[in-house]
Structure 1
Amino acid sequence: MHKNYPSHVTKEQFENIRSILENNKKKTKPRNLDLYEVFCAVLYVLKSECQWRMLPKNFPKWQTVYYYFQIWSKNSDKEPSTWQVILKKILVRKVRINNGRKEQTSFCIIDSQSVKNTDTAKNKGYDAGKKISGIKRHIAVDSQGLPHAIYITTAEKKDRNSAIIMIENEKENLSKVQKILVDAGYTSEKFAFKIKTIINANVQVIKRNELHSFVVLPKRWVVERSFAWLEKCRRLWKNCERKLNTSLQMVVLSFISILLKRS
Structure 2
Amino acid sequence: MRKIYASDISREVFMEIEPLLLSSRKRTRPRKTDVYEVFCALLYLLKSGCQWDMLPSDFPAKSTVYYYFKLWKEKPSDTEPSLLEQALKNVVGEARISHGRNVNTTFVIVDSQSVKNTDTAREKGYGAGKKVSGIKRHIAVDNQGLPHAMAVTTANVTDRTGALITFTRHRKSLSCVTNILADGGYTGTAFADDVHHILGATVEIAKRSELHTFKVIPKRWVVERSFAWLEKCRRLWKNCEGDLNTSLQLVNLAFLALLLRRKDTE
TM bucket by the smaller chain?
over 0.9
**CA offset at residue 60 of structure 1?**
0.5
- Aligned-partner SS, 1:259: helix
* 1:123 corresponds to: 123
- Aligned-partner SS, 1:197: helix
Q: How far apart in 1 are the matches of 2:215 and 2:117?
A: 31
- Aligned-partner SS, 1:29: coil
* 2:78 corresponds to: 77
What is the aligned-residue RMSD (CA, Å)? 1.2
User: Structure 2 vs 1, CA of residues 210 and 204 (structure 1 numbering), >3 Å: closer, same or farther?
Assistant: farther
Which string of whole-angstrom CA distances, capped at 9 and with x for unpartnered residues, describes residues 55-109 of structure 1?
Answer: 1110010110011000100012243111001111x10000000111110001100
* 1:102 corresponds to: 102
**CA offset at residue 178 of structure 1?**
1.0
- Aligned-partner SS, 1:28: coil
* 2:143 corresponds to: 143
Q: How far apart in 1 are the matches of 2:155 and 2:79?
A: 25
Q: How far apart in 1 are the matches of 2:213 and 2:44?
A: 43
**CA offset at residue 112 of structure 1?**
0.2
**CA offset at residue 32 of structure 1?**
1.4
Identity %: 58
**CA offset at residue 42 of structure 1?**
0.7
**CA offset at residue 209 of structure 1?**
4.1
User: Is residue 205 of structure 1 aligned with residue 196 of structure 2?
Assistant: no
Q: How far apart in 1 are the matches of 2:158 and 2:97?
A: 34
- Aligned-partner SS, 2:262: coil
Any unmatched runs of 5+ in structure 1? Answer: none
* 1:87 corresponds to: 88
Q: How far apart in 1 are the matches of 2:105 and 2:60?
A: 39
Q: How far apart in 1 are the matches of 2:211 and 2:91?
A: 36
- Aligned-partner SS, 1:114: strand
The within-5 A match list for 1:27-66 is: 27-66=27-66
Q: How far apart in 2 are the matches of 1:141 and 1:210?
A: 26
User: Is residue 12 of structure 1 aligned with residue 12 of structure 2?
Assistant: yes
Give the AA of the match of 2:188.
Answer: S
Confirm or deny: 8 A CA contact 2:79 2:170 kept in the other structure: no
- Aligned-partner SS, 1:153: strand
Give the AA of the match of 1:122.
Answer: R
**CA offset at residue 217 of structure 1?**
0.8
**CA offset at residue 214 of structure 1?**
2.9
* 1:155 corresponds to: 155
User: Structure 2 vs 1, CA of residues 223 and 78 (structure 1 numbering), >3 Å: closer, same or farther?
Assistant: closer
- Aligned-partner SS, 1:144: coil
**Count of residues paired in the alignment:** 262
Give the AA of the match of 2:59.
Answer: F
Q: How far apart in 1 are the matches of 2:108 and 2:67?
A: 35
**CA offset at residue 35 of structure 1?**
0.5
Confirm or deny: 8 A CA contact 2:145 2:222 kept in the other structure: yes
**CA offset at residue 21 of structure 1?**
1.0
**CA offset at residue 114 of structure 1?**
0.3
* 1:258 corresponds to: 258
Give the AA of the match of 1:199.
Answer: L
* 1:220 corresponds to: 220
